[in-house]
Amino acid sequence: MTKVNRKMRMGMIGGGKGAFIGGVHRLAANLDGEITLVCGAFSRDPQKSKESGEEMYLSPERVYGTYQEMIDSEKEISEGERMDFVSIVTPNHMHFAPAKYALENGFPVVIDKPLTFSYEESKELLKLVKETGLLFGLTHTYTGYPMIKEAKELIKSGKLGKIRRVVAEYQQGWLSTKLEDGDQKQADWRTDPTRSGKAGCMGDIGTHAENLAEYVTGLKVKELCADLTAFVEGRRLDDDGNVLLRFNNGAKGVLFASQVAAGVENAIRLRVYGELGGLEWSHEDLNTLIVRWLDKPAEILRTGVNYTNLSDRSLINTRVPAGHPEGYLEAFANIYRNFAKTLKARMNGESIDNEAYDFPTVEEGVRGMAFIDAVVESNEKGSVWVKINE
Amino acid sequence: MTKVNRKMRMGMIGGGKGAFIGGVHRLAANLDGEITLVCGAFSRDPQKSKESGEEMYLSPERVYGTYQEMIDSEKEISEGERMDFVSIVTPNHMHFAPAKYALENGFPVVIDKPLTFSYEESKELLKLVKETGLLFGLTHTYTGYPMIKEAKELIKSGKLGKIRRVVAEYQQGWLSTKLEDGDQKQADWRTDPTRSGKAGCMGDIGTHAENLAEYVTGLKVKELCADLTAFVEGRRLDDDGNVLLRFNNGAKGVLFASQVAAGVENAIRLRVYGELGGLEWSHEDLNTLIVRWLDKPAEILRTGVNYTNLSDRSLINTRVPAGHPEGYLEAFANIYRNFAKTLKARMNGESIDNEAYDFPTVEEGVRGMAFIDAVVESNEKGSVWVKINE
Amino acid sequence: MTKVNRKMRMGMIGGGKGAFIGGVHRLAANLDGEITLVCGAFSRDPQKSKESGEEMYLSPERVYGTYQEMIDSEKEISEGERMDFVSIVTPNHMHFAPAKYALENGFPVVIDKPLTFSYEESKELLKLVKETGLLFGLTHTYTGYPMIKEAKELIKSGKLGKIRRVVAEYQQGWLSTKLEDGDQKQADWRTDPTRSGKAGCMGDIGTHAENLAEYVTGLKVKELCADLTAFVEGRRLDDDGNVLLRFNNGAKGVLFASQVAAGVENAIRLRVYGELGGLEWSHEDLNTLIVRWLDKPAEILRTGVNYTNLSDRSLINTRVPAGHPEGYLEAFANIYRNFAKTLKARMNGESIDNEAYDFPTVEEGVRGMAFIDAVVESNEKGSVWVKINE
Amino acid sequence: MTKVNRKMRMGMIGGGKGAFIGGVHRLAANLDGEITLVCGAFSRDPQKSKESGEEMYLSPERVYGTYQEMIDSEKEISEGERMDFVSIVTPNHMHFAPAKYALENGFPVVIDKPLTFSYEESKELLKLVKETGLLFGLTHTYTGYPMIKEAKELIKSGKLGKIRRVVAEYQQGWLSTKLEDGDQKQADWRTDPTRSGKAGCMGDIGTHAENLAEYVTGLKVKELCADLTAFVEGRRLDDDGNVLLRFNNGAKGVLFASQVAAGVENAIRLRVYGELGGLEWSHEDLNTLIVRWLDKPAEILRTGVNYTNLSDRSLINTRVPAGHPEGYLEAFANIYRNFAKTLKARMNGESIDNEAYDFPTVEEGVRGMAFIDAVVESNEKGSVWVKINE
Whole-number pLDDT of residue B186: 84
Cβ neighbours for D142, distance < 8 A, ≥ 6 positions apart: D148, D208, D211, D212, D268, D283, D331
Q: How many CB atoms lie within 10 A of CB B280?
A: 22
Among C14, C384, C386, C372, which Cα is nearest to C200's?
Answer: C372
Task: Identify any residues that bridge with C87 across adjacent strands, giving them in sequence order.
Answer: C12, C110
| Share in percent of chain B as helix, strand, coil (round to 5) | 40, 20, 40
Predicted confidence band at D388 (pLDDT cuts at 50, 70, 90)? Answer: very high
Rounded CA-CA distance C155/C151 in Å is 6
CB within 8 Å of C303: residues ≥ 6 apart: C145, C146, C147, C286, C287, C288, C314, C318, C322, C325, C326
- Whether residues B126 and B225 fall in one domain: no
Asked if residue A19 has pLDDT above 80, the reply is: no
Residue type, D348: N
- Give mean pLDDT, residues A110-116: 96
Name the DSSP class of C296: S
Asked whether residue B348 carries a pLDDT value surpassing 80, the answer given is yes
pLDDT of residue B117: 96
Q: Hey, is the C-beta of C320 within 8 angstroms of any chain B C-beta?
A: no
Inter-chain residue contact C300 with B298, CB threshold 8 Å = yes
Cβ-contact C116, C363 below 8 angstroms: no
Residue A82 to residue A71: CA distance in whole angstroms: 10
Peptide bond into D91 cis (omega under 30): no
| D361 within domain boundaries | no
The rounded distance, in Å, linking the Cα atoms of A12 and A64 is: 10
In sequence order, the 6+-apart residues with CB closer than 8 A to the CB of B271 are: A261, B165, B166, B167, B168, B278, B279, B280, B281
Q: What pLDDT shows up at residue D270?
A: 98
- Burial tier of A225 (Cβ tally within 10 Å: 0-12, 13-18, 19+): buried
Flag whether A329 is in a domain. Answer: no
Of the two residues A19 and A344, the one the predictor is more confident about is A344
Could you tell me which of C25, C56, C335, C329 has the C-alpha nearest to residue A33?
C56
Residue A380 reports pLDDT greater than 80: yes
B10, B25, B213, B317, D207 from B87: Cα distances, Å: 7, 8, 26, 21, 43
Whether C63 is in a domain gets the answer yes
**What is the 3 state secondary structure string of A84-100?**
CEEEECCCHHHCHHHHH
Residues present in chain D in total = 390
Query: What b/e readout covers B319-341, taking b as 16+ CB neighbours within 10 angstroms?
Result: bbbbbbbbbbbbbbbbbbbbbbb
* Residue B279 scores a pLDDT above 80: yes
Residue B286 falls inside a structural domain: no
- Maximum distance among all Cα pairs of chain B, rounded to whole angstroms: 65
D173 and D72 together in one domain: no
D260 and D195: one domain? yes
- Helices and strands counted in chain A (H then E): 13, 14
Among B294, B295, B300, the residue with its CB nearest the CB of C298 is: B300
Give chain A's domain count: 2
Residue B309's pLDDT is 86
Q: Count CA atoms within 13 Å of residue C173 on its CB side.
A: 25
Per-residue model confidence as pLDDT tens digits over D57-73: 999 999 999 999 999 99
At D171, give phi and psi (nearest 5°). Answer: -115, 140
pLDDT at residue B1, as a whole number:
62
DSSP B186-253: HHHHHT-HHHH-S-SHIIIIIHHHHHHHHHHH---EEEEEEEEE--STT-SS-SEEEEEEEETTS-EE
Residues B255 and B373 in one domain: yes
Give B295→chain C minimum CA distance, Å.
Answer: 6
B306 in contact with chain C, both atoms CB, cutoff 8 A: no
- pLDDT at residue B308 is higher than 80: no
Give contacts of B 257-286 with A, CB under 8 A.
258, 260-264, 271, 273-278
3-state SS assignment for residue D230? coil
pLDDT in tens, B238-266: 999 999 999 999 999 999 999 999 999 99
Q: What is the three-class DSSP state of B34? A: coil
Contacts of D291 in chain A (CB under 8 A): 297
How far, in Å, CA of A218 to CA of D346, rounded?
Answer: 62
pLDDT digit string (tens) for B213-230?
999 999 999 999 999 999
Task: Kindly state the percentage of chain A with pLDDT values over 90.
Answer: 93
DSSP letter (8 states) at residue A308: G
**Domain residue limits at B269:** 162-274+366-387
Rounded to a whole number of angstroms, the distance from the CA of A276 to the nearest CA of chain B is 6
Distance of residue A184 Cα from the nearest chain C Cα, in angstroms: 14
Of C85, C132, C130, nearest in space to C111 by CA: C85
Residue among C2, C18, C11 nearest C41 (CA):
C11
Distance CA B42, CA A1 (A): 88
ipTM above 0.90, yes or no: yes
A338 — phi, psi (to 5°)? -65, -40
Phi-psi category of D106—alpha, beta or left, where left has phi over 0 and alpha has psi -120 to 50?
left
Across chain B, mean pLDDT equals 96
The phi-psi region of residue A62 (left if phi > 0; otherwise alpha if psi is between -120 and 50; otherwise beta) is alpha
Strands B8-13 and A240-247: unpaired
Average pLDDT over residues B279-303: 97
For residue A250, what is the nearest residue in chain B, using CA coordinates? B231
Q: Are A206 and A257 in contact (CB under 8 A)?
A: yes
Helix H or strand E segment including C98: helix C96-104
- Is residue B195 domain-resident? yes
For residue D252, which of C82, C201, C11 has the smallest C-alpha distance?
C201
In whole angstroms, how far apart are CA D343 and each of B188, D104, D174, D339? 38, 17, 37, 6
d(CA A84, CA A44): 23
Chain D: residue nearest A295 by CA? Answer: D307
Looking at the domain assignment, is residue B244 inside a domain?
A: yes
- Name which of B114, B81, B94 is nearest B41 in CA terms: B94
Length of chain C, please? 390
Q: In terms of pTM, does the model score above 0.90?
A: yes
C-alpha B263/C-alpha A215 separation (Å) is 22
The mean pLDDT values, 10 residues at a time, for chain C of 390 residues are 91 89 96 98 92 95 96 97 97 96 98 96 98 98 98 98 98 96 87 93 98 98 98 97 98 98 98 98 98 96 89 95 95 98 97 97 98 98 95
Q: How far is D380 from chain B (nearest CA, A)?
A: 32
Q: How far is D375 from chain C (nearest CA, A)?
A: 14
Judged by CB atoms closer than 8 Å, whether chains meet at A297 and D308 is answered as: yes
Q: Residues 6 or more apart from B207 whose CB is under 8 A from it?
A: B113, B114, B140, B368, B371, B372
Neighbour count for residue A191 (Cβ, 10 Å): 27
D327:B322 CB<8 A: no
For residue range A53-107, list pLDDT tens digits in order.
Answer: 999 999 999 999 999 999 999 999 999 999 999 999 999 999 999 999 999 999 9
Do both C158 and C24 map to the same domain?
Answer: no
Closest C-alpha among D6, D3, D25 to residue D14? D25
Q: Which residues of A26-36 are buried (b: 16+ CB within 10 A; e: fewer)?
A: bbbbbbbbbbb
User: Taking each helix axis from N to C terminus, what angle separates C328-347 and A328-347, rounded to the nearest 10 degrees?
Assistant: 80
Name all chains with 3 or more CB-CB pairs below 8 Å to chain C. Answer: A, B, D
Distance from CA of C260 to the nearest CA of D (A): 8
D256 touches chain C (CB under 8 A): yes
My answer on whether omega of the bond before C114 falls inside 30° of 0, hence cis, is yes
What are the C-alpha distances in Å from A179 to residues A189, A239, C45? 11, 12, 59
Cβ–Cβ gap D305/A296 under 8 Å: no
How many residue pairs bridge chain A and chain D with CB atoms within 8 Å of each other? 36
What chain B residue is nearest to D36 in terms of C-alpha separation? B33
Over residues D358-380, the pLDDT tens digits come to 999 999 999 999 999 999 999 99
Contacts 24+ apart (CB under 8 A), B20-26: B20/B186, B20/D321, B21/B89, B21/B112, B22/B89, B23/D319, B24/B329, B24/B332, B24/D319, B24/D320, B25/B87, B25/B89, B25/B110, B25/B112, B25/B139, B25/B332, B25/B336, B26/B56, B26/D33
Asked if residue D288 is part of any domain, the answer here is no
D2 pLDDT more than 90: no
Interface test with A, best of D291, D300, D301, D314 (most A CBs within 10 A): D300
Per-window interface: B 118-177 vs A, CB < 8 A: 160-161, 164-165, 167, 169, 173, 176-177
Answer whether residue A1 shows pLDDT above 90: no
- Smallest Cβ–Cβ distance between D298 and the set A294, A296, A299 belongs to A299
Phi, psi of B186 (to 5 degrees): -60, -45
Share of chain B above pLDDT 90, in %: 93
Q: Do D169 and D109 share a structural domain?
A: no
- What's the CATH number where C94 sits? 3.40.50.720
B75: β partners = none
User: Of B156, B291, B287, which Cα lies nearest the Cα of B217?
Assistant: B156
Mean pLDDT across chain D, nearest whole number? 96
Q: Provide the strand spans (E) within chain C.
A: 8-13, 35-41, 85-88, 109-111, 136-138, 163-171, 221-229, 240-247, 252-258, 267-274, 277-282, 288-293, 298-302, 385-387
Query: Could you tell me if A154 and A262 lie in one domain?
Result: yes
| One domain, residues C355 and C371 | no
C385/chain D closest Cα distance in angstroms: 8
For residues A165 and A308, membership in a common domain is answered with yes
For residue C280, what is the nearest residue in chain D, using CA coordinates? D264
Residues D46, D48, D52, CA angle at the centre, nearest 5°?
115
Q: Are residues D119 and D166 in the same domain?
A: no
- Rounded to whole angstroms, the Cα distance separating B216 from B360 reads 12
| CATH number, position C233 | 3.30.360.10
Task: Say if C44 falls within a structural domain.
Answer: yes
Is B40 in the same domain as B127? yes
B7 or C307, greater pLDDT: B7
Q: pLDDT tens digit string along D158-211?
A: 999 999 999 999 999 999 999 999 888 888 888 999 999 999 999 999 999 999
CA nearest B273: which of B244, B251, B245, B249? B251
Same domain, A205 and A170: yes
* Whether pLDDT at A185 is above 70: yes
pLDDT digits (tens, 9 = 90+) for A234-255: 999 999 999 999 999 999 999 9
**pLDDT at residue D307 greater than cutoff 90:** no
Spatial contact of A190 and A196, defined as CB atoms under 8 Å apart: yes
